[in-house]
Amino acid sequence: MNGYEATEKILEMNPGAQIVTVIAHDTVDQMEKCLKSGIKDFIPKTVNVKKLRAILNRKLIFFSFQL
């Protein structure tokens, strides 16, 4: 099972899950594939700590409004 298949399975069990993944290549094709599979956000390798912090903050804000 690859990450896209795992995402689909997770979303079947928990439709509201906010899935963030690390991608190997920062290409439009890969970003579109992520979004189509249900991945909500992505971070290209090598991880940029500032970008990671910004994405996690967005997800935490999203969750605070859901509660």
Residue 1 pLDDT = 86
Structural domains of the chain, count? 1
- What would the DSSP string read from start to end of 34-65? HHHHT--EEEESSPPHHHHHHHHHHHHHHHHH
Residue 9 pLDDT = 94
Domain of residue 59: give its range: 3-66
Residue 66 pLDDT = 58
Tens digit of each residue's pLDDT (9 = 90 or more) over 11-65: 999 998 889 888 888 788 888 888 899 998 888 888 788 888 888 888 887 666 6
- Model pTM score: 0.63
Residue 63 pLDDT = 65
